[in-house]
Structure formats: C-alpha cells, structure tokens
C-alpha cells in the first residue's frame, strides 16, 4: 500500500490543538501502520524531525438505535512529538 493512504488526515480537535503548543500533533492512520513506519512517513512528508510516536488503538463499539443494532468502527491514531523549535502548519490559527 502506498504511503499516501497510510497517513489519512490530521485530527483537529480542541484537545489536539492544545497539544500543538508542546510540539505534539495527532494523525488518523491506517490500522496496519506501525509506529516506526508512521515516523518515517511524517518526517518525509512534512520535512521535520520526529522524536517520539505514541499509538492509540480505539476498538469498535456496539451501538443501537431502537431495535436495530450496529457497530461503530474502530480506528488507530498516532501522536508524534517533534524536535524542539519545529512545528507543522496543519492546525487552524
């Protein structure tokens, strides 16, 4: 699978925006992506030095609406910590 499909999009929420102050940025990624692969992709795509990556796997959850039962899909996200003094321009100002 190509690299452009592994790193899906940055996650822009209030909590992840606050992490931007500390040089940490959150991305939604493909489930098969490993931490070291994610580090290489972010470094090559954004031309920054990644110090640390944290991976969060959210499991799928069962949801129901009346009689119908469905499943909310799970996802995988990474939090990358950049070298001091570097930042990404993915967050709204």
Q: For position 92, what pLDDT does the model report?
A: 60
Confidence of residue 77 (pLDDT cuts 50, 70, 90): very high
Q: What is the CA angle 15-55-91, rounded to 5?
A: 35
Q: Is the pLDDT of residue 2 over 80?
A: no
Work out the widest C-alpha separation in the chain, in whole angstroms: 53
Distance CA 70, CA 59 (A): 14
Which residue ranges make up each domain of the chain?
3-82
Task: At 71, list the tokens.
Answer: 């499943």
Confidence of residue 13 (pLDDT cuts 50, 70, 90): very high
Q: Taking the domain 3-82, which CATH number applies?
A: 3.30.70.330
Distance CA 81, CA 26 (A): 9
Across the range 68-77, mean pLDDT stands at 95
**What is the tens place of the pLDDT at every residue in 16-61?**
989 989 999 999 999 999 999 999 999 999 999 999 999 999 999 9
């Amino acid at each position: 699978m190509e690299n452009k499909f592994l790193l899906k999009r940055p996650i822009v929420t209030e909590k992840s925006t606050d992490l931007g102050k500390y040089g940490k940025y959150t991305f939604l990624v493909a489930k098969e992506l490993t931490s070291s692969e994610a580090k290489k992709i972010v470094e090559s795509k954004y031309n920054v030095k990644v110090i640390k990556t944290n991976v969060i796997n959210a499991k799928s959850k069962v949801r129901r609406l009346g009689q119908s039962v469905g499943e909310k899909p799970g996802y995988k996200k990474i939090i990358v910590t950049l070298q001091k003094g570097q930042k990404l321009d993915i967050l709204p100002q």
